[in-house]
A and B are shown apart, each in its own frame.
Chain A
Amino acid sequence: MSPFLFWIFAGLMLVFGAGVVLNRNPVASALSLVVSFLGLAALFMSLDAYFIGIIQVLVYAGAVMVLFLFIIMLLDLRAEKLRKINWLASAGGIAVAVALSVQILYVIGNFRFSQQPFPPLARSTVDDVHHVGSLLFENYNLPFQIIGVLVLVATIGVVVLSKRELR
């Protein structure tokens, strides 16, 4: 991918990521998050990680965020709009974020590998969906199935704990 496209998608992600926090309307925040996820997916694709990019769109931007929107629309969130901004807390938050960014930049700058260009990945004849599938169903077969049991436990728990008891 050309650097030009990288800057477009990275900028898109950052602008809409900031939009998630800055918007007072929760629905607008959620929609900005969707756009930010799409930018992230494009970046994954540019790194040749097509599977993760597609999953990012299908699962996060598609399923999870739409569910999130439903919940936001069902809840009454007017209180959030009326809340005043606490300037002191925002200033503190910005200070922490800046300090963290400086630290990360410093560490990356001193990191040996960051000075040299990343070697191109070896081209494989098998696509990565195939790789993920064969790993899941061969080496990690048992954990994969146990995760199924784990999801069952979560479902039972949610239903039992949130069900309204009839008296």
Chain B
Amino acid sequence: MYIELLKLASPETVVVVTALVVLALGLANERTAGLCSGVAAAGLLFAVAAVLMLPQQATLFHGMLVITPLTSLFKIICLVLAFFTVILARADLSSRNRGEYLALVLLATIGLMLLVGSEELLMIFIGLELTGLSLYVMAGFDKTDVRSAEAGLKYFLFGSTASAFTLFGISFIYGMTGTTALAAIGQKLTTAPVQPLLFVGIVMTLIGFAFKIAAAPFHLWAPDTYQGAPVPSAAFIASGSKVASFVVLGKIVLVGFGPAQGSAAWHAMVAGWAPVLAALAALSILIGNLVALAQTNVRRLLAYSAVAHAGYTLLGLVAGGREGFSATLFYTTVYAFTLVGAFGVVALVRRETGGDDLKNFSGLSSRSPLLAGCMSIFMLSLAGLPPLAGFFGKFYLFSAALRAVDNNGLLWLVAIALFGSLISLYYYLMVLKVIFVDEKSSSTTQPLNPSTSADFLQEISLTVLAAVVLFLGVMPGTLVARIIAAVQ
């Protein structure tokens, strides 16, 4: 049995070993510390290879470790996002404590992979905590910056409260069904009478995930954390953690709580988790988009837009079913890649001009046409303009939501989402206006560090990300077909 476990958990094992090696290299001496990023990146690629060699279907310990095409696909996506984070971190961090930082990135990645690859509430909670603890430390990692400390502290306080709620909710669910495996919970709930205690448990469980995906009204940590944390940490919090949380949230509500779905249709609401998620989605879309209009800092703007995007993505889960879940998965993947790219551009601009306010971006198109081009692809994709991936993702989500319920019952939610996208166009274009039209004011500070070779690597990775976003917009079928085939 242990050999079987080692074989099926080989990607996680590879990442753990890499994390330990990176930690040791960082501690050894100055010279080996330089190797850390390379080793971390190589380890992640090895882990991708290990995922590809896993069998098609396997289950261990009643669902604690599940391997299906879906989990394998999303493990690879999490690993790739971690890879880009490592590249971002390579240039962004001072040489101090680099080994520890990269080790934390890798350990957080293990948490993400366990989250994706588990259908058991105990394991899911441990995965949430592993990811959360690593990300709290990563957010507060820059000890020379008081904003980073603020980011870490806020993220930690909100996060630990949210996990307490989730754990409490899970204990209710366990008390009622006597099991922690999602499939068994789903079976128990089909026969058990619907009782108020069940809804208390469901709502409390959802609170923790609403925090993780930064859905309003649990989004209050997001602006300060996105703005204050070191750029690679913010990018990883916004991308990897979000993708894994949406995968798990989808599995929990659709597999575990499936019988208690209820309905969010207009004038025909039925109690269940669907109306709860619909309310979260509507609130997130409105609050996120309206508050983003007033932001002058690009990272804060991205944070509020993240709240809005969490709202759009929830639409797929409210719709439910195979189609809604695949729409959610596609959208969150596209969003994660776009956001890592956008944070990459922010990191480069920040290094060049010493800040990440909107005015620091003025005249970027004349300084660096490549960065300006990448940023415009990311922003337009977030706004949802064709032919970029964001457009197709939104189209897929909205059509899934419309078709899910009879009589266009979810039309009210889709209308809110369309209204929100319309508002969002303004602030995304605002960023592009600053980049392309505004002249660089002469008073901005001198470049802090002249460009180094690390910039070259980072520019390549940004170009790759922009190409991915463009490619998924033109030929979305390549990823969508995989996701649909994987979602049973």
Contacts and interface: CB of A to CB of B under 8 A. Distances in A.
Interface of A: 138-143, 146-147, 149-150, 152-154, 156-157, 159-161, 165
Contacts of A153: 104, 107, 130, 133-134, 137
Interface string B121-132: 011001101100
B136 interface: yes
Interface in B1-32: 1-2, 5, 9, 16, 23
Nearest to B23: A156
Interface in B87-108: 96-97, 100, 103-104, 107
A157 B105 CA distance: 12
Residue of B5, B141, B143 ringed by the most chain A CB atoms within 10 A = B143
6 contacts: A140-B61, A141-B61, A143-B122, A149-B107, A156-B103, A157-B133
A139 B133 CA distance: 25
B409 interface: no
A156 to B, nearest CB: 6
B358 to A, nearest CB: 32
B137 A143 contact: no
Contacts of B64: 142-143
A157 B104 contact: yes
A121 B276 CA distance: 42
Interface string B70-85: 0000000000000000
B123 A143 contact: yes
Given A142-B123, A150-B130, A161-B140, A156 B100 contact: yes
A149 B104 CA distance: 11
Contacts of A159: 100
B141 A160 contact: yes
B61 A139 contact: yes
Contacts of B5: 141-142
A156 B137 contact: yes
A115 B425 CA distance: 66
Given A157-B136, A161-B137, 16 more contacts: A139-B61, A139-B62, A140-B61, A141-B61, A142-B9, A142-B61, A142-B123, A143-B123, A146-B126, A149-B107, A150-B129, A150-B130, A153-B104, A153-B130, A156-B104, A161-B152
A149 B140 contact: no
Nearest to A152: B107
B110 interface: yes
Contacts of A160: 97, 100, 137, 141
B65 interface: yes
Contacts of B310: none
B227 to A, nearest CB: 20
A165 B100 CA distance: 14
B122 A146 contact: no
B478 to A, nearest CB: 33
A154 B141 contact: no
A146 B2 CA distance: 15
B421 to A, nearest CB: 38
A109 to B, nearest CB: 20
A40 to B, nearest CB: 21
A135 to B, nearest CB: 11
B60 interface: yes
Contacts of B60: 142
B315 interface: no
B96 A165 contact: yes
Nearest to A157: B137
A143 B107 contact: no
A141 B127 CA distance: 14
B66 to A, nearest CB: 11
B75 to A, nearest CB: 15
Nearest to B97: A160
A141 B3 CA distance: 12
B114 interface: yes
A143 B107 CA distance: 15
A161 B143 contact: yes
Contacts of B1: 138
Residue of B16, B127, B137 ringed by the most chain A CB atoms within 10 A = B137
Nearest to B103: A156
A154 B143 CA distance: 17
